């Protein structure tokens, strides 16, 4: 069966979106497992960057702060693909296991740029902005 041009473009877009969602999931699992090398492998081979709350890291080894009972989950993915380049915006939810309980530690937003190279999608940059934390003052509910 031959696909029309429109069907072929739709198929490529759907496959690209699925691959980017898989890349995000693999990075989340590596972060949660404390596996820095696997986390770094989700970035392009050279020239990638990671920004966390305004702190820019070009040395990805120094940027990694995963593991230690933390679990990172990303949801609400908005993905745009343009050839071999893509962008993604998603919500980050960071959970932490403390004293036998799992608690919400932080929420934020990732803004990503990605590239398709070497047969797969990789992050070229990830910018994470954590949401502001509400005051713990007793009068604030």
DSSP letters, 55-89, are EEESSHHHH----TTEEEEEEEEEEEEETTEEEEE
Higher pLDDT, 98 or 29: 29
Domain count, the chain: 1
Tell me the average pLDDT across 4-11: 88
CA Rg, the chain, in Å?
A: 17
- Answer whether residue 138 is part of any domain: no
Segment 50-55 mean pLDDT: 95
H-assigned helices in 5-121: 5-33, 36-40, 60-63
What CATH number is associated with residue 97?
Answer: 3.10.450.50
Distance CA 27, CA 60 (A): 13
Q: Which residues pair with 88 in a beta bridge?
A: 79, 112
Domain assignment present for residue 135? The answer is no
Q: Which residues, 6 or more positions from 101, have their beta carbon under 8 angstroms from its beta carbon?
A: none
Could you give the dihedral angle defined by the CA atoms of residues 10, 13, 19 and 23, in that order, rounded to the nearest 10 degrees?
-150
For a pLDDT cut of 90, what percent of the chain falls above it?
76
> Is residue 114 included in any domain, yes or no?
yes
Q: Does the residue 45 lie in any domain?
A: yes
- A 10 A CB-CB count for 49 gives 18
Per the prediction, the chain carries an average pLDDT of 91
pLDDT tens digits for 80-125?
999 999 999 999 999 998 788 888 999 999 999 999 999 999 999 9
Residue 139 inside a domain? The answer is no
Q: By CB neighbour count within 10 A (0-12 exposed, 13-18 middle, 19+ buried), where does 140 fall? A: exposed
């Amino acid at each position: 069966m031959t696909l029309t041009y429109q069907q072929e473009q739709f198929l490529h877009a759907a496959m690209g979106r699925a691959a980017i969602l898989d890349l995000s999931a693999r990075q989340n699992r590596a972060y949660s497992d404390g596996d820095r090398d696997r986390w770094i492998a989700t970035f392009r081979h050279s020239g990638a960057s990671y920004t966390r709350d305004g702190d820019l890291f070009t040395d990805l080894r120094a940027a990694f702060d995963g593991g230690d009972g933390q679990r990172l989950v990303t949801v609400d993915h908005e993905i745009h693909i343009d050839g071999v380049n893509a962008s993604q915006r998603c919500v980050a939810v960071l959970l932490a296991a403390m004293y036998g309980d799992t608690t919400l530690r932080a929420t934020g937003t990732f803004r990503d740029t990605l590239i398709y190279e070497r047969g797969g999608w990789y992050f070229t940059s990830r910018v994470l902005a954590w949401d502001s934390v509400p005051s713990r003052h007793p009068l604030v509910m």
